[in-house]
A and B are shown apart, each in its own frame.
Chain A
Amino acid sequence: MSSDGQVIENSPRASKREELLDWLGLFARLALGGVVFVAGAIKIPTPYKAAAAMRAYELLPNSLASFFGYILPWFEVGLGALLILGVFTRLSGLVGALLMVLFIGAIASAWARGLSIDCGCFGGGGEIDPSQTKYLQEIIRDIGLAICGFYLYYRPSSRFALDNRGK
């Protein structure tokens, strides 16, 4: 890495490009981290709702679904905080991306099985009227966020990250 760095350092054009990509990294961190943090924070005050939203997917045994429903909001807040602050960006980005892939799979499976539920992503959740399902929008949003996460995995360097301290 550091020998590559020297090469890049010598080329002003490449350096300009690097700087732009660093800003892109900041955008990816704040987009994924911000959404995940807010999604978690909204759900923390109403754990029953979060657990119910998880159960409504009918993917896990009841008690396990409730358990994950209780802990997921806290996990999201933690992950979101790490991404926003830019700590362990590469790992946080990967975990965030994998979480999104998991969400996409769960939503797609609910859709395919003909359930009519709200994703419960930002609170809410549970069964809703079939006309109110928004599976496609939810999946597109999560794909966008997954791309942010994978980008950070491949290129974790970004502006205003705690990871940059002391380097």
Chain B
Amino acid sequence: MASKNRGPQRGGRNNQPDPITRWIVIGMVLLVVVIGAVFTVVSNKSASNVALPPGASAADGYGIVFNADKSPTINIWEDFQCPSCKRFEDTNGAKIAEVINQGKAKVVFNTLSFLGPESVVAGMGAGCAADQGKFLEYKKFLYDNQQQEGSGTWDKPYIISMATAMGLDETKFSACLNTDKYRKWLTNVSAAGGEANINGTPTVVIDGNIIESDQQGINYYTPEGFNAQLVKYGIN
């Protein structure tokens, strides 16, 4: 049977091609592609009238800002699921907390969420923690208990139990997380990250200059390496 159904040069029983099936297939494929592409573009667009967590500022890539009136400005773009971000936090988290507490710089945390659904849940949770004034504590707690990327462990119940364990108000936190209160905020952060040409995490930006680790001899996975970058901008 198959041998009768080959290309036109084989001269099958019927030389009239029947294009209907082909047009149906190409129509369906086109439909899926167009709908999928449009959906992806639209759903990754920044939106206005978005609920922002306390401290978040549109002008700073929708990041959560500490010491708004200080300079220089350090932006830290991170994804709570990213292993390098954990390394960065383990290495420099205390130093950054010191910079914040001593008012040596304006520090902005831009929460990206591009490593899958766990990143989105964890990121929305960061907004919910900021509601209770515990963004930095939440961030550190998540890195201290980071799970393997994409393992699916960080679903909403799990993140709520983590937030409760670190002393956040469970009722408020779960109401916030379960209603996806900060999902659109995360989308806006991501759109801002795209505009700022942030192509990996963690990315540190000081006064608009992207500082890449492992490029041009820069290594911010050691305290000395990171401090050396801070010193360049007058932060001791």
Say if A and B assemble together. Answer: yes
Which A residues have a C-beta under 8 Å from some C-beta of B? 1-2, 4-6, 8-9, 18, 22, 44-49, 51-53, 55-56, 62-63, 66-67, 70-71, 73-75, 77-78, 81-82, 85, 87-88, 116, 125-127, 129, 156-160, 162-167
- List chain A residues, Cβ under 8 A from B212: 127
- List chain B residues, Cβ under 8 A from A4: 9
* Given A1-B8, A45-B116, A157-B6, 11 further pairs, Cβ under 8 A: A5-B8, A8-B9, A53-B199, A73-B40, A78-B30, A125-B199, A160-B2, A162-B21, A163-B7, A164-B5, A167-B8
Which of A45, A126, A156 makes the CB contact (< 8 A) with B199? A126
- List chain A residues, Cβ under 8 A from B30: 78
Nearest chain-A residue to B25 (Cβ)? Answer: A87
- List chain B residues, Cβ under 8 A from A156: 7
In angstroms, Cα B15 to Cα A9, docked, is: 14
Q: Is the CB of A78 within 8 A of B190?
A: no
Q: Is B14 an interface residue (CB 8 A)?
A: yes
In angstroms, Cα B21 to Cα A9, docked, is: 27
Which B residues have a C-beta under 8 Å from some C-beta of A? 2, 5-12, 14-18, 21-22, 25-26, 29-30, 32-33, 36-37, 40-41, 44, 112-116, 190, 193-195, 197-200, 212, 214-215
Q: Is the CB of B2 within 8 A of A47?
A: no
Count of inter-chain pairs, beta carbons less than 8 A: 137
In angstroms, Cα B154 to Cα A6, docked, is: 65
Q: Is the CB of A157 within 8 A of B193?
A: no
Q: Is the CB of B25 within 8 A of A66?
A: no
In angstroms, Cα B17 to Cα A18, docked, is: 20
Given contacts A22-B6, A71-B41, A157-B7, contact A127 B200 (CB under 8 A): yes
